Amino acid sequence: MESCTKDTSAPIYPAFRIAALCGGKLDAHGRGILHCPGPLHKRNDRNKSLSVKDGPDHRALLNCFAGCTVTSILNELGLTKRDLFVKGPPLTAAECKEAALRERSRRKWEEAQRLAARRVRDWTHLRDEFGSELAALPDGDGRERELTRLYHFTLDRLRAVEAEQTRLGKQAAK
């Protein structure tokens, strides 16, 4: 998208975006008369009928002198009325603080999930080892009871950690 300003860190307000989509530019005061993409200009708008302004709160103000409605103009540009407004109003200090806390909490849950996932891998590995040792034992081998006990122990641990991992995943998603 074309920007009318050289400052790349400056936000692109809706009116400037709409002007760019109409193939034009606004002046330094955020005003311009552009070719209207609206439906009342079947053979293109040669005389430039559309006034575009960067309004209060950087709301985009559109006015077609030929009478295209704002909705029909937005339609042509693939936009909706919401696109006339700056998205995401600036947060209050309290909202900023709350958002930061939420983010920190989310990161903690994710870290806990990573640890749980590592434990799942460890217990899975042990269970598989005991399982294959058990499977390879010849009949009547004296170690069978002990190996069976170990196998079930690792299986229980694995199920517990998996349950923990699921719970952590639900928490993190909140």
Nearer residue to Zn ion within complex by CB, 66 or 160: 66
- What is the DSSP pairing of strand 31-34 with strand 60-64? unpaired
Nearer residue to Zn ion within complex by CB, 64 or 158: 64
Min dist CB 12 to Zn ion, Å, is 23
d(CA 38, CA 18): 13
Min dist CB 26 to Zn ion, Å, is 17
Nearer residue to Zn ion within complex by CB, 61 or 86: 61
Distances (CA, A) of 43 to 46, 63, 94, 114, 171: 8, 19, 52, 61, 57
Min dist CB 113 to Zn ion, Å, is 54
d(CA 134, CA 152): 11
Min dist CB 3 to Zn ion, Å, is 24
d(CA 48, CA 61): 16
- Interface with Zn ion (CB under 5 A): 36, 38, 40, 49, 64, 66, 68
Nearer residue to Zn ion within complex by CB, 17 or 41: 41
